[in-house]
C-alpha cells in the first residue's frame, strides 16, 4: 500500500506499479486487470491516472520462472546433421515455453533429442518460430555459429518460406501482395494489427483452389512478423479459415485452429554452403478440411 505523492500524480497506475515492483509492465497490467490493485478501495484499470493523496493497495505476485527441461516428445525430423535440424511441427504444439505453456513445447522435445542447443534457453536453437496451431517446417540450429549465420540469413531474407493456407471467402484477385506494418493491437494484447507505427510486413499470395465460400492459397513471406499472414488476410477481409482470434472457428474443420501450414523451406547450409530445400504435405486434418470444403 502507498499514498500517491505529488511526484507520482498524473501518471498511470500500471507505470507506477511497474516502477515499484520491478516487474514488466505487461505483467503488472495483467495483474491489475485481474483485480490485483485498487485506488481508495475501488478496483483500478491499468490506465487509471493517479491523483495526490489517493491510497493505492496492490498485491502483485512475481511472474512464474520459466524453466526449460528436456521432455521425450516424438519429433518429426525431416533433416538432421551435426549443424542443424529441420522439423515438421504439428498443429497444436507450442514452439517454445512461455507463460501459459511451460512444457510440452517443441523446444522441450528438441532438448531431449539433442541434449543441448545454443541461444536463449527459452528459444534454444530456434532460427524462427510458428504459431501454436500452425503446422510445418521449422529450422533449428545445433551450434552457436550456425545460429548466428542462419539468424543473419533470416534477417536478410535469404531463407525462403512458403505456406499453404485456407482463407474464408474467395479473394477477387488470383494473386497479389499485401503490405501493411504490424504491431500490437492496442485493444487486445493477444492480437496484432496493421498499424502506422508497426514494423514493415509484406506477404505475397497465389490462389491454388477455389471453393464455394473459401479458397486455398500459397503465401510467401518477405518478412516474418508475429501473426503476419493471419493479420494481413484478416485485414484484407479473408481471414484464415478456422482462426479463433482473427476469424472464427468453423465446424467443418477438424484442425485445432487456423488452417495454415508451412510447407516449403529453402536456405543455404551455414557450413557446406549447399542450397537445401524441403517440402512437407499438410497434415491429415488440413487435408480433411479441403475435402469438406470441396463437398
Catalytic positions are 131
Distances (CA, A) of 24 to 10, 64, 135: 20, 12, 31
In degrees, rounded to 5, the angle at the alpha carbon of residue 250 between the alpha carbons of residues 87 and 229 is 45
d(CA 69, CA 283): 27
- Interior/surface letters 271-284, b for 16+ CB within 10 angstroms, e for the rest: eeeeeeebebebbe
d(CA 176, CA 221): 12
d(CA 15, CA 48): 10
- The grid cell for 217 is 492459397
- CB of 32 within 8 A of CB of 43? no
Judged by phi (left if over 0) then psi (alpha if -120 to 50, else beta), residue 92 lies in left
Instruction: Classify residue 47 as exposed, middle or buried by CB count within 10 Å of its CB (0-12, 13-18, 19+).
Output: exposed
- CB of 112 within 8 A of CB of 124? no
Question: How many helices (H) and strands (E) are present in the chain, helices listed first?
Answer: 6, 15
- Phi (first) and psi of residue 242, to 5 degrees: 65, 25
d(CA 200, CA 189): 19
- The grid cell for 254 is 477438424
Amino acid at each position: 500500500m502507498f499514498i500517491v505523492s505529488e511526484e507520482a500524480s498524473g501518471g498511470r497506475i500500471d507505470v507506477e506499479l511497474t516502477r515499484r515492483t520491478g516487474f514488466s509492465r505487461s505483467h503488472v497490467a495483467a495483474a491489475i486487470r485481474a483485480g490485483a490493485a485498487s485506488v481508495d478501495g475501488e478496483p483500478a484499470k491499468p490506465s487509471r491516472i493517479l491523483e495526490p493523496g489517493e491510497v493505492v493497495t496492490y498485491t502483485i505476485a512475481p511472474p512464474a520462472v520459466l524453466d526449460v527441461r528436456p521432455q521425450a516428445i516424438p519429433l518429426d525430423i525431416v533433416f538432421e546433421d551435426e549443424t542443424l535440424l529441420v522439423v515438421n511441427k504439428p498443429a497444436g504444439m507450442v514452439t517454445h515455453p512461455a507463460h501459459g505453456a511451460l512444457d510440452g513445447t517443441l523446444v522441450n522435445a528438441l532438448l531431449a533429442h539433442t541434449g543441448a542447443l545454443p541461444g536463449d534457453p527459452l528459444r534454444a536453437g530456434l532460427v524462427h518460430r510458428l504459431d501454436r496451431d500452425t503446422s510445418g517446417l521449422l529450422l533449428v540450429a545445433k551450434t552457436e555459429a550456425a545460429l548466428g549465420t542462419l539468424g543473419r540469413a533470416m534477417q536478410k531474407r535469404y531463407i525462403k518460406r512458403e505456406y499453404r493456407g485456407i482463407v474464408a471467402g474467395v479473394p477477387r484477385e488470383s494473386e497479389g501482395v499485401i503490405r501493411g506494418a504490424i504491431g500490437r493491437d492496442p485493444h487486445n494484447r493477444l492480437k496484432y494489427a496493421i498499424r502506422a507505427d508497426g514494423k514493415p510486413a509484406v506477404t505475397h499470395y497465389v490462389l491454388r483452389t477455389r471453393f464455394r465460400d473459401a479458397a486455398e492459397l500459397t503465401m510467401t513471406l518477405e518478412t516474418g512478423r508475429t501473426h503476419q499472414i493471419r493479420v494481413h488476410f484478416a485485414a484484407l477481409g479473408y481471414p484464415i479459415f478456422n482462426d479463433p482470434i482473427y476469424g472464427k472457428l468453423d465446424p467443418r474443420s477438424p484442425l485445432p485452429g487456423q488452417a495454415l501450414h508451412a510447407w516449403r523451406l529453402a536456405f543455404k547450409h551455414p557450413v557446406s554452403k549447399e542450397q537445401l530445400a524441403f517440402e512437407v504435405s499438410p497434415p491429415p486434418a488440413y487435408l480433411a478440411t479441403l475435402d469438406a470444403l470441396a463437398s
